[in-house]
Amino acid sequence: MTPLRVCVAGAAGRMGRALIEAIAAAPDLRLSGALELAGSNFIGRDAGEMLGAAKSGVTVGADAEEALRASDVLIDFTRPEPTLAHLALCGRLSVKAVIGTTGFNAAQKESIQRAAKDVSIVLAPNMSVGVNLTFKLIELAAQVLNEGYDIEVIEAHHRHKVDAPSGTAVRMGEILAKTLNRSLEQDAVYGRQGVTGERKPATIGFATIRGGDIVGDHTALFAGIGERVEITHRASSRATFAQGALRAARFLAEKKSGLFDMQDVLGLR
């Protein structure tokens, strides 16, 4: 079998390194490109040596078009603007895309939907298999605990994370709101301070913690009278996100176009 050729954007970042390491260990995948911003100190270095491992034969570069021409799939965990620029190239070059980037606004999400008419895309705020199972569990919990329970989403990440709440926490809120027939736009409360008044029953609250090297903790709390139910996922290594992203890349191999998420990849839809 010919290995699937995978290009990694943000190669020198935390997720980029985890992805390159995971690809090197996968017999059915081959690293075909490693992208970094122009001016990065890692430009020109071998992607494997950058990790302190054996040479990969792939040089870290800033020319996205060159890297994508040699690739079947792009995996991108960067920022919205560079991700969309890469996605435009994917559409032109017929390269599939696995997007783990978070922080997209509504207009940017629409542009991704348009791009999916030409190429196949997996878009997910969290590629972890466990987190995506958690999404299914909180949907089930919301169906059962749909009256008399106050719902809060609590998330914690490392000090370097730039967006809040996390994309995973927002996705939890979207699932809860849809299941309960609520509007996240109207019912979400992002943090509380001062005299806030009594909690409104339809509220979906979000609490954000940032500190240290926390990889990612997410909890959906259903608090009723006399009991509470907490559904929690804790990630201790970025390897779990990398393995999920590789699973998504394999899923796209036979898909010509369309927008998918990890629920599709895992058969949980």
Chain segment 209-260, per-residue pLDDT in tens: 999 999 999 999 999 999 999 999 999 998 999 999 999 999 999 999 999 9
Give the pLDDT mean for 58-82: 96
- Spell out the domain ranges in the chain: 4-127+238-265, 129-235
pTM: 0.82
From CA 113, how far away is CA 106, in angstroms rounded? 11
- In the chain the first and final C-alpha atoms are separated, in Å, by 29
Give the pLDDT mean for 44-60: 88
What is the tens place of the pLDDT at every residue in 184-210? 999 999 989 999 999 999 999 999 999
Q: Which residues are catalytic?
A: 157, 161
On the 0-12 / 13-18 / 19+ scale of CB atoms within 10 A, 59 is middle
Q: Is 33 helix (H, G, I), strand (E, B) or coil?
A: strand
From CA 166, how far away is CA 161, in angstroms rounded? 9
From CA 29, how far away is CA 74, in angstroms rounded? 12
Q: Place domain 129-235 in its CATH homologous superfamily.
A: Dihydrodipicolinate Reductase; domain 2 (3.30.360.10)
Number of other residues whose CB lies within 10 A of the CB of residue 39: 7
SS (H, E, C) 133-149: HHHHHHHHHHHHCCCCC
CA distances from 123 to 100, 101, 103, 225 (A): 6, 8, 12, 37
Task: Write the class of the CATH domain 4-127+238-265.
Answer: alpha beta
